[in-house]
Structure 1
Amino acid sequence: MPVEIEHTIQMKQTSRDYYARLAELIATPFSAGQYYELYGMMRQLCEDFSGDRVFSNFFSQLGYVCDMAGVSKTLAAALQSLRRRVGHVEEIRHEDFPGDVRIVADFVKQLFGSDPPDELLSSLPDVGNESTSHRHNTGVGRVLRVRVLRSDTETLYVQPDSDDILIRVSLTAPEDRRYLLELVHEGSTLNLLDVSVGLDGIYIPQWIIYEPDYLLSPSDLAGVFEPNAITPHYYFLKMLQPRESTYYTLLGNTSGQFLDDIIFRRSTATYADSLRKAFRNYPLDFYLQMRSTENISRFHNEARVQFANISHIVEQQMEAVYGFDLRQALIEPSFVCPAVGLAGRMDYLEVGGYRLIEQKSGKRDEYRNSHKEQHFVQMMLYQLMIEYTLGLSRDECRAFLLYSRYSDGLMIERPYMALLHKAIEMRNRIVAMQEKFAENSASCAVVFEQLDVDALRQRPVNDKLWMGYLRPRLETLLRPFTVSLDGQMPAKAFFFRFYSFLAMEQWLSRMGVPSSGAHGYADLWNNPALVRVENGDMYAGLHILAMESAVGDDGIDTITFGISADQQDKLTNFRTGDAVQIYSYEGLEPNVARQFTLRGKVVSLGTDKVKVVLNNAQRNMAVFGDAQTLFALEHDRVESGSSNLVAGLYSLLTAPKEIQNRFFLHTLPGECSTGLPVLLGNYGSFDELVQKEVAAQEIFLVIGPPGSGKTSCALRYMVEEELRRSPSSRLLLMAYTNRAVDELCGMLEGIISDTPMLLSDYLRIGHALSADEAYRHRMLAERVGDELKTVTDIGNLLNRTRIIVGTTTTMMQRQQLLREMHFEVAFVDEASQILEPYLLSFFTLGVIDKFVLVGDQKQLPAVVQQNADVATIDDESLRSLGFTNCGRSLFDRMLHRLISLGRNDLYMQILTQGRMHPRLYDFVNRYFYSSRLQCVPLAHQQRDFREVFANLPANADNMTCHLAEERISFIDCVPVEDGVNEKVNSAEAGMVASCLSALSALYEANGRELKADDVGIIVPYRNQISMIRAKLHEKGLNRFMQTTIDTVERYQGSQRDIIIYSFTVRHPGQLHFLTSSVYMETDNASGTYAVDRKLNVALTRAREQLILIGNYALLQSNEMFARLLDSVPRIG
């Protein structure tokens, strides 16, 4: 058993690797796609040489590496010019390519200090291409992106992204912005907007945006404008409390539905119909807020008034008085605006952006009959986003606030520039604080522990309001940071360390991850379109094939796009259920920052078409253009409850001592003194596991190696026994991914089918499109309307439902509902993939008696953006309780602590597996599980392989004969130097197709048919998927197009009779990616040894046969792979 986990082991590429790739590129016939590979090499070089530093964009990162390495100004300028040109398809020219390869070769030489080989130099010009900044320097323009080099008391000295010159930026005109001197540092990225140039050559921008790629929501930003203060601290203080449903948010959402219906239906819209739609969209919110007769009466009274007011304003004022064209209405369009560092969704906008409405269901400033400041600031920020996204002037976009509480609530507004400048200052300060919080936890402690309540009274505010309401609330919120906690619980140390960790995770998810090569949301506008398409992160050139409405005459909500022929054979990183955004574009360069977007989810995806369901139906057909209109589809950024994660950390500070003890495992529950209980069910070899779970109090861990049946058997039997032991017990079942929740649902359906008297129903919480179709009828949203017509119906369903199921993220966002329930047990599957903050709030809820965590620390770990060194925990009070790294799962930490304390009554490892034949798991068992695993055994685990393929096809070749004899094989495949993306290996893709052809012949010779679902294909890079499909098509193996080809990460939890694993790697430097999940583990019996979690998963998906394909000479250079290959029969 593990008692300590150390850092992962990684290797980086050498100069020899880079030179070999450049030689391969220059030797290959030219195509524009080769610039994608060249760009990727530049990024990888910068990532290798920038350490753990985080950059908001490649421009700043490349500049930093050039400065650090002493790269000449000429070469640095040429590199920046090359970076820019990749973003302009029309500037990619065949004749430039050799000189551009020379630029990268010179960069490699400068970084590594080693000369390129003569063979490479002989195929390149003597010098690289010169900087071509003059091609892009078309004047200052509206947006100028710059990198800060240095500063003095009133001036910033910066380098623009669009040129290779040094410019000076004034901080005193037209506004005093010297506060920026507190925020900027060398390498900071700024956007200068609407710049004028003074007679002395100094640049004077209208706006300066700090780290513009870190996008904030206008509503969150406006929230820092409080009656007592305008301060960035409020942004962070509000994150301490979970965002929950209130009466007022429900009224606001309902009035928003009214506005949508009345605009489109006009006089045919009715209160009853609109209310039914709102109930269907927000059933749990109605349940939580509408259970008292008083609330119901009040709500209907206020809602009817709002409906009548909106009807009056739409029918009598919008067109007749204010000149709206309701035929041009857009409902809830979204904008991504890195120019001003903001992103958000608007209530109403006319196509073209000429009229904007922000709706509010609450009160305006009735004393002055004017807007409230927060609402006005939010509206101005939306207006600013429209200006810089659609290219409008301030006067062209007319903005309105709609207070639907009043019949005269439509108020035309004009920007107040001083207040808008203050809002941008707050945005800049918030981003700078977030950056500091991400860098170290000490910054968090300084802010929260030293924040004085009275210092937050910065504006004149009524004493009664301050002393009676505002000040007491702030005191309560800040008390856990200013008062010493009882005992030795390191709750504050935990809060600050994990707050910093979460801040860094969020920063990296937006900006990118230099150390791993993963890139952030900002790549949507920073990465060239060519790169995004080649990476599979964008569909460009889409055209509409069909538009449908699943909501009657309420507008178009489902669109089928045709995929252009040149993209049909390319990689895609999109999956069914993915959140996406679509937008129209003109020209060759789609850019999400130049147009409004419509958000939705992918519901089906084929080779030639993709279907998307919109979040908000649209009736305005102008939105969808004409037959020639082109669309792009890109990933949408979904905030996975980040504010609720912080609120969860805070909840630990305010939790009772016994709950803190339980979470930290500072004190453990008592051991059962009466022996293992008598079970009410018969669970065969799982009896002891179920007995130990029943006997355990508060916490129990199940370690389930691959194929051990931890979900289908162990979890099922534990659930069955809990249901048997108490007819009134309620259970909560969770997992990290929707796919794992589908498996939980499948397990529950099995119980319902086999023992309907034990369980007849369960409720799944979440979005319908996130669930497999087979389980959608169990979701609350699917039951509303037919089965559930009233709040009482929902209450009755919740009261009689014994099992609630959902992802941890969804349930974390529904804690308001969970607090009203009581659960005897919460079962968490995939627990070894879930970080501490994602489970913490379930402990502090105080409504769950016992947690049963099911996982395997030797399979894929939690997904973490930052590397292990950055995520290390140094605080001794935390380390003494087993907290060594923030990137470690709660399951890992608790397992380690229970083992160290000798509490084997609170955990158990399943030692039998029923998936793999003994020959297939021999390597994994020996090297990763200390030879402790055993077969069940099932029939297929005992069958002689000669029984499977008793007959050979006529004219069987050597490979076919080998596959007929060996359950596990390695096929040596030397890569072809074709100059394509290094994450694609055409030779191995062809070999995969050959294997399928040989296996098909073997099956046919033995009277069977090899079906697509019998085989699974695993690859390390998504880019290889499309290449394999192309080879299958090329060889006429189209029946295998439905075979699942995916990455190791996507295959965890799956199995197939036959697995083919294509290692894909072509260069030594790529081995560090394959081994990125290796860690050192110490076993009390076996000592310290390496466990490759990625390899463990890849090798344990097959039931009958495993085929490995790779470059033998390359893989032999890695000790773990060498051991594997030495134990496997080889072909070739």
Structure 2
Amino acid sequence: MTKSDNRYVNTETHPADSRYIRCRVRSHDSASFTVVTGNDGDGRELRVSYGAAPGGDEYGYLRGILRRGMRLNLLDTRMADNKVVAGEIVVEPDFLVDISSLAACFEDFGHHPLLYTLNRLKKRPNTYHIILGNFAGMVLDDVINSPHFSLNDTIRKNFREKAIEYASCGEFSPETFKKDATAQARNIRQTTSALFGIYDRSKVLLEPSFVCEMLGVQGRVDMMTSDRRMLVEQKSGRNRYIELCRQNGSGGKYLEKHYVQLLLYYGVLKYNFGLDGQDIEVMLLYSKYPMPEGLIRTRHLEAELREAIAFRNLVVAQEHAMTSDGFASAIDRLTPETLNVNGMSGFFYDRYLLPQLQEVTSPLASLPPLERAYLCRMMTFVLKEQQLAKTGCLAGAGCSVADMWRMSVEEKLDAGSMYVGLELAGLAINEATGSYDMLTLDVPDCGDDFSPNFRSGDMVYVYAYAEDEKPDVRRSILFKGVMVSIEAERVRVFLSNALQNPDVMARRDSRGRRLLYAIEHAGSDVGGAAVMRTLFDFVTSLPERRALLLGARSPRRDTSVRLTKSYGGYFDPLLLRAMQARDYFLLVGPPGTGKTSTAMRYIVEEELAADGEPSVLLTAYTNRAVDEICSMLCDAGISFLRLGSEYSCDGRFRPFLVGNMVEQTPRLDKLKDRLMAARVYVGTVTTLMSRPYIFSLKRFALAVVDEAGQITEPGLVGLLSAHSPESADEPAISRFILIGDYKQLPAVVQQSVEESAVNEPCLNGVGIRNCRDSLFERLVRTEREARREDFIGVLRRQGRMHPAIAAYAGAMFYADERLEPVPCPHQTEALPGYSVPPADRLDEVLSRERVIFIPSEKGGGGGRSDKVNACEARIVADLVARIRRMAGNGFSCEKTIGVIVPYRNQITMIRREMERRCPGDAPDICIDTVERFQGSQRDVIICSLTVNSDAQLGFLTANSFEENGRVIDRKLNVTLTRARRQMILTGNPEILSGSDVYAGLMERIRRDGKYMKWTL
């Protein structure tokens, strides 16, 4: 925070004459409340009025929601009667709420905060009008981007991007759509032509994003100009005021929810950029109607803005109440009577609005006790996770949206959560659209300690800032995009919304100052909202599916089922049990046992060979895992469709994307036929949850979930309970197979083990112990406790690790599974297989030993972080250089060596040492955390354990549990099972011996004679 930044309060001069006071509540009573300024409440104490003007009570509603320690933003403040009077008061501003979601709560029957909750439980519809609205948005884009707009081209493009939506919409009529599309396009072209007679077309931005910490909201505007003189929000549906030629209660012809949305966007521009109503014109474009009726200019009324922010505050207070008191505290209030705050009645309410409310509230009111307890506990868990994703669990950890402004630029660079100083290298044109959508930025030298925490496929914000200022996401127009490629000196980002004018991404601002660019992670509520919807899907699914997943009935088996062919004596018994299971089968696959490449392949082949031409759904949590499934299908010659977007998919499999099928089959009836004929669908769990309408088009005889141990139960249970949006009488997925290994790293959960624990006796009684557990782990536990063997199988043959390496993980973590080699050729080799003769004693050890431990000295101290160890960095770099030389022509950066560390800080130190010892290969050798290495393998794995104090052992061994009297350390298990030919560890034995697991590992290595001291 700089003194020149006048958005922040200088409490030493005048504590309450400011545009912005960030503070915490200390106390409150009926007359006023007391706050302490500063982000941590360590500044000056102020008394604040409940009125927006002396004697007023505009903020009286806060009496019911204020609590000690609550963060507030006081905006446009002044002193009156020795109290602070604020123009706006924002509760918990770090909890960003999406503007469109807030506006959607302003219904004719009122706007109750619980409507925000109900809207996230509602099924995601796929109606004709939603398809038309999406198309109208693309028309606006294309009219702006293309000087030669073609309606047919836009229809084809939209059809390609939304193929599943078109095909699964039962009420879609091509003839009606063509007529409505033509009218929408005509009206949009008329309106934009009129607008660009006033405003500069070259400055138009489509769907720029904003983050407004001052108001606690975020959003994306349909269209505005870069000089912020014009803002337009488009709506494609009906407007009764326009059709009836009459005004609403506020004297306008807009719908209230649309006005609220526009008003909040205006508020963002006001507080982010210091604009007022004279600086910008905000308009609603109702594209169903021609000019001039369809373009409505609006007024900026401060009282209405205050009401919208008040509603936002009540929503946030409700969210916090549900995370602290549980969803059970709110579920009984989710009734039409509560939500209908205006007491609306009559034909329109009874016929149309009430049934929409009852679609959610009626099932909630009639839930049996067990299902009610389950929904309440899992919803509380999901709500808490979403809260932590927004506001963070650890200050300065760089893992929450709020860290974008709560952390300094220097702290974000240290965490690797930000790029700064980027220079524009190029903006490529998309020949198909004539717009610019591929951005290339040059990365400056950010110092030896910079290690970016970004991956290809990440959603990001890109924004410009003047060279003489610090980048601030809150004061910038944000361009949302996807990281396409990341190199040491250059990054490429695909912009979600293409630019019509490349000069928008400028090199200098209007004052002639040089512009640089920054990149930060883009936050989103989409994942959490999708999980909430699918939890509601679960409690409204078939009773027998609910009973199965909650352990109220046992899984079934059909012993008459036989395999269509033999897959070998080892696989046949396992596959037979999997095919005979009529509800679910659980396949436990330890590392290297061919879960995807072999077991899943055989399962798919066998299912496709069955009578009746059944369809199969294959899914996993990560895009990388889904790409591996696609690779397996290609190797097996199995045809499939890939669901997802182009830039989240490996280039090899983009021809299999559904959208690319449209180019071959441009007609809707032919497309439907091809979609129905396709027998294998592949996509991530998140993609499937966000597109539930796929299940109105297809039903699947079998779903196979890979990496099932990495998905929390609420993240999967709804998908497995899916049913057609039109009916719950038939499941969309008849049976499912979960493949995973619960002894490897699970899903990342921000809550502590204690916070996510399940304490409800009825849930404990059916085996639900912790919300962070995967459904896979719980069902495995259920089957073993029931002593059933028909619905669970274990893959025991591993083809990755040499037996000498596998012996360690086998003894420590897989004693019950009794792993054995396939054996593959490299598993029978006597020596690691280096081609160049050894040059010294360490080379000799490397050339003969499979597992080595090299003790290191304690690092840290002297002002250096405990998360780095210089001694280990030198050891690792020396080992890499030796292995590089000894491997000779057989060396490959992608296959030969991988380096695992617990901290990102150590990555930088190791890479710096490698630059000195093997500079040519240093950038291309993978050095990463164990979490990122899960699912990967290398010939040689080197692990720098990087512990410099006893306090770090808790982090190193955090992901552990006990099974049959043995401690299963998931992090160490993943580390020890990545290497094919050689495993080398280095760490401080004195500190590591404080952990029983590591003490036992080092003792075994010593006993085997593989403990080697080495001084550089």
TM-score of Structure 1 vs Structure 2, range by shorter chain: over 0.9
Q: CA contact under 8 A between 1:679 and 1:691: conserved in structure 2?
A: no
Q: Which residue of 1 aligns with 2:975?
A: 1098
Determine the C-alpha separation between the residues in 1 that align with 2:546 and 2:401.
36
Tell me the SS of whatever aligns to 1:1127. Answer: helix
Q: Which residue of 2 aligns with 1:427?
A: 312
Q: Does 1:733 align with 2:618?
A: yes
Q: Which residue of 1 aligns with 2:886?
A: 1002
The one-letter amino acid paired with 1:339 is: M
Q: Which residue of 2 aligns with 1:538?
A: 418
Change (3 A) 1:303 1:672: closer
Determine the C-alpha separation between the residues in 2 that align with 1:324 and 1:995.
63
1:458 CA displacement:
2.8
Change (3 A) 1:1060 1:168: same
Q: Which residue of 2 aligns with 1:979?
A: 863
1:589 CA displacement:
1.8
Q: CA contact under 8 A between 2:852 and 2:1012: conserved in structure 1?
A: yes
Instruction: Pick one of 40, 50, 56 that aligns with 1:171.
Output: 50
Q: CA contact under 8 A between 2:16 and 2:78: conserved in structure 1?
A: no
Instruction: Pick one of 192, 195, 198 that aligns with 1:314.
Output: 192
Instruction: Pick one of 380, 385, 393 that aligns with 1:513.
Output: 393
Larger RCO: Structure 1 or Structure 2 (Cα < 8 Å, ≥ 6 residues apart)? 1
Per-residue displacement from partner, 1:328-351 (whole Å, max 9, x unpaired)?
111110001111011010001111
Q: Does 1:277 align with 2:157?
A: yes
Determine the C-alpha separation between the residues in 2 that align with 1:136 and 1:311.
54
Instruction: Pick one of 599, 613, 623 that aligns with 2:480.
Output: 599
Determine the C-alpha separation between the residues in 1 that align with 2:174 and 2:835.
73
Q: CA contact under 8 A between 2:401 and 2:523: conserved in structure 1?
A: yes
Q: Which residue of 2 aligns with 1:1051?
A: 933
Q: Does 1:354 align with 2:229?
A: yes
Per-residue displacement from partner, 1:102-130 (whole Å, max 9, x unpaired)?
xxxxxxxxxxxxxxxxxxxxxxxxxxxxx
Tell me the SS of whatever aligns to 1:566. Answer: coil
Determine the C-alpha separation between the residues in 2 that align with 1:412 and 1:531.
43
Q: How many residues matched? A: 975
Per-residue displacement from partner, 1:498-523 (whole Å, max 9, x unpaired)?
11111000000111123995631110
Q: Does 1:185 align with 2:62?
A: no
1:703 CA displacement:
0.5
Determine the C-alpha separation between the residues in 2 that align with 1:720 and 1:207.
62
1:164 CA displacement:
2.0
Instruction: Pick one of 251, 261, 266 that aligns with 1:383.
Output: 266
Q: Does 1:853 align with 2:738?
A: yes
Alignment of 1:816-827 (within 5 A): 816-827=693-704
Q: Which residue of 1 aligns with 2:383?
A: 503
Instruction: Pick one of 825, 832, 853 that aligns with 1:970.
Output: 853
Per-residue displacement from partner, 1:774-816 (whole Å, max 9, x unpaired)?
111111233333x232323321321221100011110111221
Determine the C-alpha separation between the residues in 2 that align with 1:1042 and 1:557.
28
Determine the C-alpha separation between the residues in 1 that align with 2:834 and 2:515.
55
Which stretch has the larger CA shift, 346-355 or 475-484? 475-484
Which stretch has the larger CA shift, 541-550 or 1038-1047? 1038-1047
Tell me the SS of whatever aligns to 1:625. Answer: coil
Determine the C-alpha separation between the residues in 1 that align with 2:352 and 2:469.
56
Instruction: Pick one of 768, 775, 779 that aligns with 2:653.
Output: 775
Change (3 A) 1:789 1:190: same
Change (3 A) 1:1112 1:651: same
Q: Which residue of 2 aligns with 1:459?
A: 342
Instruction: Pick one of 97, 104, 126 that aligns with 1:223.
Output: 104
Q: Which residue of 2 aligns with 1:55?
A: none
Per-residue displacement from partner, 1:950-1008 (whole Å, max 9, x unpaired)?
8733xx2332222122111111121444634432333222211100122233334xx85
Which stretch has the larger CA shift, 802-811 or 988-997? 988-997
The one-letter amino acid paired with 1:278 is: N
Q: Which residue of 2 aligns with 1:61?
A: none
Determine the C-alpha separation between the residues in 1 that align with 2:842 and 2:233.
67
Per-residue displacement from partner, 1:610-664 (whole Å, max 9, x unpaired)?
1111001112334211263111011111334322211222223322321211221
Instruction: Pick one of 311, 319, 329 that aligns with 1:446.
Output: 329
Alignment of 1:119-138 (within 5 A): none
In structure 2, runs of 5+ residues without a counterpart are 248-252, 509-513, 723-730
The one-letter amino acid paired with 2:63 is: L
Instruction: Pick one of 934, 945, 950 that aligns with 2:820.
Output: 934
Q: Which residue of 1 aligns with 2:725?
A: none
Change (3 A) 1:180 1:566: same
1:828 CA displacement:
0.4
Determine the C-alpha separation between the residues in 2 that align with 1:173 and 1:467.
38
Change (3 A) 1:355 1:144: same
Determine the C-alpha separation between the residues in 2 that align with 1:1122 and 1:934.
25
Per-residue displacement from partner, 1:568-596 (whole Å, max 9, x unpaired)?
76211011111111001123421101111
Determine the C-alpha separation between the residues in 2 that align with 1:385 and 1:830.
41
Q: TM-score, normalised by structure 1?
A: 0.83
Which stretch has the larger CA shift, 532-541 or 1015-1024? 1015-1024
Q: CA contact under 8 A between 1:1013 and 1:1043: conserved in structure 2?
A: no
Change (3 A) 1:319 1:515: closer
Q: Which residue of 1 aligns with 2:373?
A: 493
In structure 1, runs of 5+ residues without a counterpart are 1-86, 92-131, 753-758
Determine the C-alpha separation between the residues in 2 that align with 1:751 and 1:950.
34
Change (3 A) 1:1025 1:242: farther
Determine the C-alpha separation between the residues in 2 that align with 1:288 and 1:281.
14
Q: CA contact under 8 A between 1:547 and 1:559: conserved in structure 2?
A: yes
Q: Which residue of 2 aligns with 1:1017?
A: 899
Determine the C-alpha separation between the residues in 1 that align with 2:836 and 2:178.
76
Determine the C-alpha separation between the residues in 1 that align with 2:741 and 2:713.
16
Determine the C-alpha separation between the residues in 2 that align with 1:1024 and 1:246.
51
Change (3 A) 1:937 1:136: farther
Superposed CA RMSD: 2.3
Determine the C-alpha separation between the residues in 2 that align with 1:874 and 1:594.
45
Q: Does 1:400 align with 2:306?
A: no
The one-letter amino acid paired with 1:1026 is: T
Determine the C-alpha separation between the residues in 1 that align with 2:103 and 2:890.
66
1:874 CA displacement:
1.4
Tell me the SS of whatever aligns to 2:441. Answer: strand
Change (3 A) 1:797 1:1021: farther
The one-letter amino acid paired with 1:374 is: K
Alignment of 1:662-681 (within 5 A): 662-673=548-559, 677-681=562-566
1:608 CA displacement:
0.7
Tell me the SS of whatever aligns to 2:446. Answer: helix
Determine the C-alpha separation between the residues in 2 that align with 1:813 and 1:473.
20
Determine the C-alpha separation between the residues in 1 that align with 2:202 and 2:98.
28
Which stretch has the larger CA shift, 463-472 or 823-832? 463-472
